[in-house]
Structure 1
Amino acid sequence: MSSTDLLRIIPMFTGLSDADLSALSDALIRRTYKAGSMIFNLGDAGDAMYIVESGDVNIHLPGKQSQRISLKDIARGEYFGELALFDQKPRSASALATTETVLLELKHNTLANYLQNRPLAAMGILRTMSERLRETNEMLSARAAKNVDEEFDKHLSWSERLADKVAELNGSWTFIVLLLTIAVTWCAINVPGVLPKPLDPYPFQFFNLALAILVGLQGPLIVMSQNRQSLKDRARAETDYKVNLKNEVNIETLMREFAELRAEVRGETMVHDDRRGTTADATEG
């Protein structure tokens, strides 16, 4: 697939003519990265966006390998780093080539020169980015976090499942009614005169022993279930934090893109109108 074809399938450049796409693709710079290579780091100066010609790229917030917060995985035909085209501010995230990757680099100056005399093309890019912002807001309205309960349940042993069932049963009216029914029934059938030879005559020592064993087993099982619930709550809180942080970064990035591009389009349109006015004055003169 040629660089022009790659530009054509990128939403940002939807609606541009073949001639415009061809002119823009001629200015792209091809760069190759080995698997595990950093393309840029959080805080690096940014003046270009990248289009993935082949390979895969992970966008993340840095940290230790086990503590990285992955924001997005970029595949062939997708792009990233576009914010630098409009504000040239430090990178808001890091980019890592997860496989051997070939990227097409589009510089800020290249796009600026391209849009200088093409305000309609700039409006097309602005419209596409507006649609991306709307779609992202709709996506964020749904729950983005993984189901922590399901993740925990996948790895539970039979003993842990038993502990959870015991804790669930002990906290229900079913257990209370069942225990009272057993106690009343046991006492009734062991009252002198009901059976020729009571199984556990008053003071019901066997029944008291059974209750003591039951209480002794219930305690550790309930504590095990509570400890696991604490771990589950902690994992859920950590997941929610990562999701909120990811959403905050994505929304902030999109809003900055939108504001910067809108300001740039407004400026280019004013320059275009001024040139038309100057040309008209010269013609009248």
Structure 2
Amino acid sequence: MAKTKDMDAAAEKIEKEAELARDDLSRYSSRLNGLVAEFEQRIHSKVNEEYDKTTRWPDKLADRIAQFGGSWRFIVIFFAVLALWIVINSLALTKAVRFDGPPFILLNLVLSFLAGFQAPIIMMSQNRQAARDKRESMIDYAINYKAELEIDDMQGHLHRLEADFASFRSETKRDMEEIKALLRSTDAKGKAD
């Protein structure tokens, strides 16, 4: 009877060790995810540094103009200038103050020039941003692919451990049954004597 308790205790110990192994594997998985995120951050920083080094000053200027042209600040300033232009030229008491009376031909010319210059600048900035995004997405794909391979490898190890544990457990159960049968037969022989 004491031997079966020892065998049960050994089986419980093995189950606890298997659970600890699963916990370790889970911790390794979360650690791997953290390492992938850190690696990805370092690569993005390096890409940003490379972008800053290789971008010429006209390109940086175009990016700043496009960034300003797509902001609320620009919209508010632009609206204020247009409103001021129209008010000055519509409500001026003397014709001497008016420099562009209705139908605001000079204003149309200024707006046409603004649109003519702003559109290509925005397109240049968008093209550079698209190239940068493409480069970053390729890096993200490579990192994710490598992480997926590592995770698949870890899952393979986990499945092998689970299979080994299941095999070991069935062998242990079979051995325990044999030991119990031997103990019963030994107890029966001892009682018969």
Matches within 5 A, 1:89-108: none
Q: Which residue type is aligned with residue 150 of structure 2? A: N
Q: Which residue of 1 aligns with 2:162?
A: 262
Decide whether the 8 Å contact of 1:163 with 1:222 is kept in 2: yes
Secondary structure at the counterpart of residue 41 of structure 2:
coil
**Range with greater deviation from structure 2 (209-218 or 139-148):** 139-148
Counterpart CA distance in 1 for 2:173 and 2:162 is 16
Counterpart CA distance in 2 for 1:182 and 1:267 is 81
Deviation, structure 1 residue 193: 5.9
Q: Which residue of 2 aligns with 1:167?
A: 66
Decide whether the 8 Å contact of 1:190 with 1:199 is kept in 2: yes
Is structure 2 residue 78 aligned with structure 1 residue 186?
A: no
Counterpart CA distance in 2 for 1:149 and 1:215 is 34
Which residues of structure 2 form unaligned runs of 5+? Answer: 1-10
Q: Which residue of 2 aligns with 1:146?
A: 41
Identity of aligned residues (%): 25
Q: Which residue of 2 aligns with 1:48?
A: none
- Cα distance change on mapping 1:136 and 1:164 into 2, 3 Å: farther
Counterpart CA distance in 1 for 2:125 and 2:12 is 63
Counterpart CA distance in 2 for 1:179 and 1:218 is 13
Is structure 2 residue 71 aligned with structure 1 residue 176?
A: no
1:281 alignment partner, one of 157, 182, 185: 182
Secondary structure at the counterpart of residue 200 of structure 1:
coil
Structure ranking higher on relative contact order (CA contacts 8 Å, 6+ apart): 2
Which residues of structure 1 form unaligned runs of 5+? Answer: 1-118
Decide whether the 8 Å contact of 2:36 with 2:143 is kept in 1: no
Larger-Rg structure: 2
- Cα distance change on mapping 1:196 and 1:274 into 2, 3 Å: closer
Counterpart CA distance in 2 for 1:211 and 1:261 is 71
2:26 alignment partner, one of 97, 109, 134: 134
Secondary structure at the counterpart of residue 99 of structure 2:
coil
Counterpart CA distance in 2 for 1:148 and 1:220 is 31
The RMSD of aligned alpha carbons is: 4.2
Q: Which residue of 2 aligns with 1:67?
A: none
Decide whether the 8 Å contact of 1:164 with 1:222 is kept in 2: yes
| Bigger strand share | 1
Decide whether the 8 Å contact of 2:92 with 2:98 is kept in 1: no
TM-score (norm 2): 0.59
Counterpart CA distance in 2 for 1:266 and 1:178 is 73
